[in-house]
Amino acid sequence: MRKIALVGIGKIAQDQHVPSISSSSEWRLSATVSRHGRVDGVENFVQIEDLLAARPDIGVVSLCLPPVPRFAAACAALRAGRHVMLEKPPGATIAEVHALHDLALAQGVTLFASWHSRAAQAVAAAKVWLSGREIRGGHIIWREDVRKWHPGQDWIFAAGGMGVFDPGINALSILTEILPQPARVLSAELDFPANRQAPIAARLSLSQGISADFDFRQEGPQTWDMEFETDSGTLALRMGGNVLEINGQPAGGQMSIMGEYPALYAHMAELVARSACDVDLSPLVLVADAFMLGRRNSVKEFEF
């Protein structure tokens, strides 16, 4: 088993990363870095520099920090010769992720920009079915409750926090994985709360007749759906890519999101074994293009 350190012990780390590492036969959680969070029975450090100095035996670091502070932590780990896994989105800007990739290559270590929704149970089958088919239109509805998934986390609505694109990029990560031809952003409309620096909702028009509707104000059941019309039938992915429908009929998957992170850590183990990198920025490019082209609307102030 390889030793791994988890940096940033917030909700996503507790809900997904810790259970995935604990259930894996390939990993042992040997340390954490957090100012406030803790994992029972695991040594904790307040600063990543302290971890890197004290634990040279830990060769892999998984970063669950918010996007803005993540770059400095990733640089420190890569310069110390550690393999690094990045929670999505991989960074606050495209340029900084390119810089991390260059650093990883220079150091001869792994950098994995993970996209957990690509590991959803029906995504691979959807990609196979769409291969060679013509997309004639599609619609994405990705609406969830920010209070449920990011309770009190003001950083997500600060500059660089991405707002509704934090979940929306999950949909775009699936889209960029399964489409036979790449999509482009044609136009966008972004709703910014009057007291915030990142959007709470967004509507995108993409090439191939695809539209996307992202909203962080959903209450009750969450909605993570996408549907596509092709020259030979329709395909739908539901439950965040975990359930597949072909021409309105069930075609595979399960009503659960709990298999995504174990798949990410299995892939990370494969990359580390080869000191290889996996850094695909196409979902982040679409988000950046939406910000560049987006028309900004001011909407009601938002408070947690």
Q: Give the pLDDT score at 258.
A: 81
**Total Cβ atoms within 10 A of residue 134:** 12
What rounded mean pLDDT belongs to the chain? Answer: 97
**Total Cβ atoms within 10 A of residue 203:** 18
- Is residue 82 within 8 A of residue 60, CB to CB? The reply is yes
Look up 127 and say whether it is catalytic. no
**Total Cβ atoms within 10 A of residue 104:** 22
What distance in Å separates the CA atoms of residue 224 and residue 272, rounded to the nearest whole number?
A: 31
- Please give the domain boundaries of the chain with CATH numbers for all domains: 2-113 (3.40.50.720), 117-255+288-299 (3.30.360.10)
What distance in Å separates the CA atoms of residue 132 and residue 258, rounded to the nearest whole number?
A: 30
Over residues 210-239, the pLDDT tens digits come to: 999 999 999 999 999 999 999 999 999 999
Mean pLDDT of 120-131: 98
- Is residue 214 within 8 A of residue 223, CB to CB? The reply is no
User: Which of left, alpha, beta for 249 (phi over 0: left; psi -120 to 50: alpha)?
Assistant: beta
The reported pTM is 0.96
Q: Give the pLDDT score at 255.
A: 83
What distance in Å separates the CA atoms of residue 214 and residue 200, rounded to the nearest whole number?
A: 8
Query: 257 or 41, which is more confident?
Result: 41
Q: Give the pLDDT score at 214.
A: 98
Residue in 3, 11, 88, 148 annotated catalytic: 88
- Is residue 61 within 8 A of residue 4, CB to CB? The reply is yes
Q: What Cα–Cα distance (Å) separates residue 214 from each residue in 218, 250, 261?
A: 10, 25, 23
What distance in Å separates the CA atoms of residue 253 and residue 243, rounded to the nearest whole number?
A: 4
- Is residue 29 within 8 A of residue 44, CB to CB? The reply is no
Over residues 242-282, the pLDDT tens digits come to: 999 999 999 998 888 889 999 999 999 999 999 999 999 99
- Tokens in use for 49? 């520099």
In the chain, the percentage of residues whose pLDDT exceeds 90 is: 97
**Total Cβ atoms within 10 A of residue 119:** 23
pLDDT band at residue 81 using 50, 70 and 90 as cut-offs = very high
